[in-house]
Amino acid sequence: MKKIQMVDLKGQYEGIKNEVNQGMQEILEETSFINGPHVYAFQKELEEYLGVRNVIPCANGTDALQIAMMGLRLKPGDEVITADFTFAATVEVIALLQLTPVLVDVDPETFNIDPEEIKKAITPNTKAIVPVHLFGQTSNMDEIMEIAREHDLFVIEDNAQAIGANYHSKDGKTQKAGTIGDVAATSFFPSKNLGCYGDGGAIFTNNDELAHTIRGIVNHGMYERYHHDVVGVNSRLDSFQAAVLRAKLKRLDIYNEARKKAAISYSEAFKENEHIVTPVRSGDCDTHVYHQYTLKIKNGKRDALAKHLQEKGIPFGIYYPIPLHRQKAYLDERYQEKNFSVTNKLVEEVISLPMHTELEEEQIKYIAKTINDFVNA
C-alpha cells in the first residue's frame, strides 16, 4: 500500500506535469511574471466555469476577504456576523479593518453558520454577513440571502473551501458556491480543492461596479496610473501560479468527483458504527466537494483516537480545536458560552481524515478499519 498522506500534491502533479511545466517555461521565456497573459486567461476561464461576471485574482484568500470588505466600503464599528467555527482568517480581516466581528454558533450537522443564530445577532449596526462554506459544503444561502434582503445587509461568501460546489436554491436555480452573495473570496493555497504551488486567491462578484472598485483596490487604489483615488493594497496573483491553476481548473470537476468517491467509501465503512457520525449532505439543498472529510466521534474518544492514528502513521487534522470566541485576540465581553453550545461540542468531537484526489480504495479501507477497531474497543 502507498504511504498515506493527508493531501497528495505530488501524485496529482504527475497527472498535469507536462502542461504545468510548459506553462512555466512559457512564462520564463516571456518574462511576464506579474499580470501576464496566463493571469488574464485564468481569470476568464474561472469566470466561465463559475458563471460569474467578474473574477479578480489576488495574492491569497485572506487578502481576498479583506479586499472584498474594503470594496463594500464598510466603516469602523460596522458589525459583521460570521461563524464561530471556522479558520481565523475570516474574523481576522474583519478585526483588521476595525469592523466589529460578531461570532455566532453553527449548525451541528453541516458545521455551517446557523441562520437562526444570525437573526438573533442582528442589531442596527449590523452591515454584513460572512457565511463560510466549511469543509466544502455551501451554507444555507436561501435563508441567508432572505435575512440579508430583509435587513439590508451585504453577504460576503468565504468560499475558500467550497470551490466547484453547486447550490440548488428553492426557486430551482443552480449556482456555484461563491456566486450567490454580493461578493465572495476564495483561496488557492496548495491544499485547497483548486490549489496552486504557492499563495493565491480571488474575489468573485456579479456586480460590475463593485468589481471595478476592487480592481483598483488590489492595485494601490489606482484607477488611472499614478492617481490614487482610494487607499488600496498590493495584492497580485503571479503568472506561475496562474499557469498551475489553469491546468487544475480544467480538471476541477474530476478532482471533486474523486473526493466525493473517497467520501462515499469512507461513509460506507463507518455506517454501522454507532459512535461515529459521518458528514451530512444537507438534503437536495446543496452539494459537497469534501475539502475535508470530517467525522464526529460521539463516545469521548476523539483525543485518544488522534493519538492512536499518530502511532499508526495515519495523518489526520483537527479542524478546528478552539472556537474563535475563545481565542485571545477575539475575546468580547458580549459573548456568552451558552450561545456557543454547538461549536463548544464540535471542537471536542471532530476529526478530519486524509482527503485528496489520489486516495486509493485500499488506503481508505485500512484507515476506516483502524478507526472502527479503535473506537469500538
- Residue in 12, 43, 54, 90 binding ligand PLP, rule: CB under 6 A: 90
Pick the closer one to ligand PLP by CB: 179 or 265: 179
Pick the closer one to ligand PLP by CB: 194 or 359: 194
Q: Where are the beta strands (DSSP E) in 9-149?
A: 54-58, 79-83, 100-104, 126-130
Residue nearest to ligand PLP (CB): 61
Q: Which SS3 state, helix, strand or coil, does residue 324 take?
A: helix
For cell 479503535, what's the residue? Answer: 374
Q: Is 187 in the site for ligand PLP (CB under 6 A)?
A: yes
Q: Is 85 in the site for ligand PLP (CB under 6 A)?
A: no
Site pattern 95..134 for ligand PLP (x: CB under 6 A)? -------------------------------------x--
For cell 460506507, what's the residue? Answer: 268
For cell 447550490, what's the residue? Answer: 167
Give the active site residues: 192
Site for ligand PLP in 44-73 (CB under 6 A): 60-62
Radius of gyration over every alpha carbon of the chain, rounded to an integer in angstroms: 21
Residue 167, preceding peptide bond in cis (omega within 30° of 0): no
Residue 192 grid coordinates: 485547497
Surface-to-core class of residue 11, CB atoms within 10 Å of its CB (0-12 exposed, 13-18 middle, 19+ buried):
middle
Nearest approach in angstroms of CB 159 to ligand PLP is 8
For cell 487534522, what's the residue? Answer: 317
Q: Is 87 in the site for ligand PLP (CB under 6 A)?
A: yes
- Residue in 201, 232, 279, 323 binding ligand PLP, rule: CB under 6 A: 201
Q: Could you tell me how many residues of this chain bind ligand PLP (CB under 6 A)?
A: 15
Pick the closer one to ligand PLP by CB: 187 or 363: 187
Pick the closer one to ligand PLP by CB: 62 or 239: 62
For cell 466544502, what's the residue? Answer: 136
Pick the closer one to ligand PLP by CB: 89 or 147: 89
Residue 69 grid coordinates: 470588505
For β-strands 183-187 and 154-158, DSSP reports them as parallel
Site for ligand PLP in 143-172 (CB under 6 A): 158, 160-161
Q: Is 139 in the site for ligand PLP (CB under 6 A)?
A: no
Nearest approach in angstroms of CB 90 to ligand PLP is 5
Surface-to-core class of residue 75, CB atoms within 10 Å of its CB (0-12 exposed, 13-18 middle, 19+ buried):
exposed
Q: Are 377 and 281 in contact (CB under 8 A)?
A: no
**CA nearest to 114, candidates 360, 351, 339:** 339
- Residue in 82, 86, 213, 363 binding ligand PLP, rule: CB under 6 A: 86
Pick the closer one to ligand PLP by CB: 309 or 324: 324
Q: Is 89 in the site for ligand PLP (CB under 6 A)?
A: yes
Residue 315 grid coordinates: 495523518
Nearest approach in angstroms of CB 69 to ligand PLP is 13
Number of DSSP helices (H) and strands (E) in the chain, helices first: 13, 14
Nearest approach in angstroms of CB 236 to ligand PLP is 14
Residue 91 grid coordinates: 474574523
Nearest approach in angstroms of CB 93 to ligand PLP is 9
Residue 194 grid coordinates: 483548486
Q: Which residues are at the interface with ligand PLP (CB under 6 A)?
A: 60-62, 86-87, 89-90, 132, 158, 160-161, 187, 189, 199, 201
